[in-house]
Structure 1
């Protein structure tokens, strides 16, 4: 193995959160080492028809990096969101026209977003990107962290684990976390429908799980939407029967919202669980995005949570570096914790509780849901505050 290499900041993981963090830090002339086990070919040639929901707050973060104008061209704005309890007329309407902040959010193709940000990372003079590099060992001392990969030994002042839900960094650094299996799975797929979506998103809540239909940018004059359909796990036999009747089962829940469905793409299936680390940093290792906390997709906020992590951590690192502080010290990382604690915990509790509330078939809770939806829809203040929070425009600090 080659001699020890020294770096101030090492980011593990070249997902959207890790790359955005690297770009933000590098934009201030600070050198960053970015490590990932994937190669160019794996990253650029991956087939991914999924979409991401980008909040207005995340759009502003990307704008600070000079990326948003190009990304925006490939996005479908969400102007209105309609929330219903099942197929009933019990609804909440969220309308961007009630605020003066632009669209409620945007839907963009994952593959495009990842490739675009990746190309900007490769162009940065202050980012050294090492690929095909697997992290094997993390050893911390009071002054630096020693990383061992399949390619090198690295001494670094700060390690950022941005390597996703199945974080190797989290495992090697022995972070403890809360875990809950929802016993649900999400089917993610795109549909082509007869009527235009008019920039509207729909979320229907059923006891079996929520169904979200998100508007996509038109392609060759086709009206497209992305679907995230959450259902309770079946036994293997029931699962087989469900998947055989998948289209009809979906149509029963869809309810002709955008007219007849002309095509349903093959769905991808994901088991749903949630976890949250009891502490986001220790011994000069800090976790961001899904590596630190992965939430239920009920509100489509996972990526936005990660983008806010990357912005705040970058701001804290840049300030510490400018003032000559040790960027891996507890004083610096505690500042990051204070700035992110309320936002992360509010979103964690909100998504967890919403899923429990709307998945319950308890008659008492059903009546509370109905009354709550009616009350919520009548309150302009409640709707405005919840929209601002979901748009990532409310930042709470301690």
Structure 2
């Protein structure tokens, strides 16, 4: 296992657990405080704006000042955020906490993305293996965070912040020591399998096609992610309204993160989708399927299955976007990572906000159905544009 993953994958895994412990704390606490769907969407929108802003400002500073040095400083900041979280009791305090934690995660993930991409590319690791192993590390962490976040919020919320205090202090110390010992690179001896190319290199070497695919799937990632983020934010209240216990909500919502993980495993082991727009279009059918399934989300199993497909809706275009986005020149890794995280940050706010408006307007599940089907129409329109009109424009 040590020849395939290294300690910065473990760091990504650990921070992702904390990210989803915090996000489920925010959404579950909002449900407990009787926020409307629109108000839940607003608090997520504010936090995501900060996340996106941090991504495109602080997010690529690691390239200039050192990824490890920047991460050490960010963990010192997370220590403060975790202390503050222990005192959150009111809607205003919850909103401020959402802002503070959004700034950390928006700044952190581009650093670890850039460090991994920079270091592993110099070791000759196959680019899909770079992105694939990174996405598996954080998606596994998400499953744990989402599963236990609502339960801990209702029963033992202080544990969420104690974990944050331990993670931030230990990480700051260990990264600082590693930076002094190894410099701003990851010391890692990869397995031979990681250096084998398993994709159509002629597509990746076509710079014009890569720019087209990168832009196309960043837009589609944003659209597909709107469904996923709306489910993540609004399901605690939907579950509560269905008469189910809020402390068990994580065991249903985690279906979304299991869907993300399963998609990453499949699409990283099978590369038939690379450059094949017909297969990509077929895979994107999980978005309208989520809308259809949402009709039946009234009891535990349908809630879990709807969440599972919402995870597919996010992970399919995410895999496409990060593959094409991070397959770039070494000096662009930090920039591409920051742009990628900016998109992620925006959809984690816009999705819950628009979803909240529709769920309030159509009284819950019907709003989610309308939302998913409208987004599906937009996704296929975007794909049609890029494969017909955009190509023609580029050739003229």
TM-score normalized by structure 1? 0.28
Bigger relative contact order, structure 1 or 2 (CA pairs below 8 A, ≥6 apart): 2
Q: Highest Rg: 1 or 2?
A: 1
Higher percent of residues as strand: 1
